[in-house]
A and B are shown apart, each in its own frame.
Chain A
Amino acid sequence: AQSVTQLDSQVPVFEEAPVELRCNYSSSVSVYLFWYVQYPNQGLQLLLKYLSGSTLVESINGFEAEFNKSQTSFHLRKPSVHISDTAEYFCAVSDGTGGFKTIFGAGTRLFVKA
């Protein structure tokens, strides 16, 4: 069975400061890892993913995450956040079976303050 733990339920941060949202997973098989973002009253959107290859993956809006197999982590980072990054972020894992049946963490609410 797979599971995802997001260690922080809320992360307040000032605009232009760096941020790290933590994610740890457990799985007995190879995994694929994802970060999704949910803006208020919207569905989830894929932010970035690790499937294979380079362990450092990036999104188009400046977020990055690093797959660390030994620590079973996939933390999300951004060196300088904007007000518009305020949203809920979900870490997720799949073993690729079941049409990429995906298990989500509880979510971390990022609140960027001016």
Chain B
Amino acid sequence: DAGVIQSPRHEVTEMGQEVTLRCKPISGHDYLFWYRQTMMRGLELLIYFNNNVPIDDSGMPEDRFSAKMPNASFSTLKIQPSEPRDSAVYFCASRRTGLNTGELFFGEGSRLTVL
């Protein structure tokens, strides 16, 4: 069974450019989480979805960040315009209701560098 798939694995862009990060959750999982990892702030929860609906976006840092989940197998995190302080590793994670183990399944992350 394929795990959570994220793309791109690495992205280098210049300040002001639009960045789109993509995530394919594990089939059958109905929760999807976006996290950001930096040295200074650790792992921060940005937003999460349940059945494709955004439930809590209180962790999204600014209006420059937006996330969508058009269907159960795809989500995007967009930054427009990007800034150097957005440089981080962005992780997507998913889980399935009913699996009351609490475990989150993480992708390998997208490392973003904004110059």
Which partner residue on chain A sits nearest B44 by CB separation? A104
Stretch in A20-28, A42-50, A75-83 with 4+ CB within 8 Å of B: A42-50
Chain A contact patch, size range: 20 to 34
Given A42-B108, A43-B106, A49-B103, A98–B43 Cβ distance below 8 Å? no
Q: Is B101 an interface residue (CB 8 A)?
A: yes
Q: Which of B93, B101, B104 has the most CB of A within 10 A?
A: B104
A13 at the binding interface (Cβ < 8 Å):
no
Q: Is the CB of B45 within 8 A of A103?
A: yes
> Which A residues are CB-close (under 8 A) to B30?
99
By secondary structure, the A interface counts as loop
Pick from A96, A99, A101, A105: contact of B42, CB under 8 Å: A105
Q: Interface 1/0s, chain A 23-65, versus B by CB < 8 A?
A: 0000000001010000001111110010100000000000000
**Which residue of chain B has its CB nearest to the CB of A42?**
B108
Task: Provide the bound-state CA to CA distance between A105 and B43, in Å.
Answer: 7
Does A106 interact with chain B (Cβ within 8 Å)?
A: yes
The residue from B100, B103, B108 contacting A43, defined by CB atoms under 8 A apart:
B108
**Chain B residues positioned under 8 Å from A43 (CB to CB):** 4, 91, 93, 106-109
Is B73 interfacial (CB-CB < 8 Å)? no
- Chain B 76-115: CB-based contact to A (< 8 A → 1; otherwise 0): 0000000000000001010101001111101111000000
Q: Does B14 contact A (CB under 8 A)?
A: no
CA distance A44 to B106 in the complex (A): 6
> Chain A contacts of B13 at CB under 8 A?
none
Per-residue B-contact encoding for A71-114, CB less than 8 Å = 1, 0 else: 00000000000000000001000101011111111110000000
Q: Does A46 lie within 8 Å of B103, measured CB to CB?
A: yes
Q: With A43-B4, A107-B42, A107-B43 as given contacts, are A102 and B107 in contact (CB-CB < 8 Å)?
A: no
Ranked nearest first, the 7 interchain pairs of A and B with the lowest CB-CB distance are A43-B106, A99-B31, A104-B43, A106-B42, A100-B102, A44-B106, A46-B103
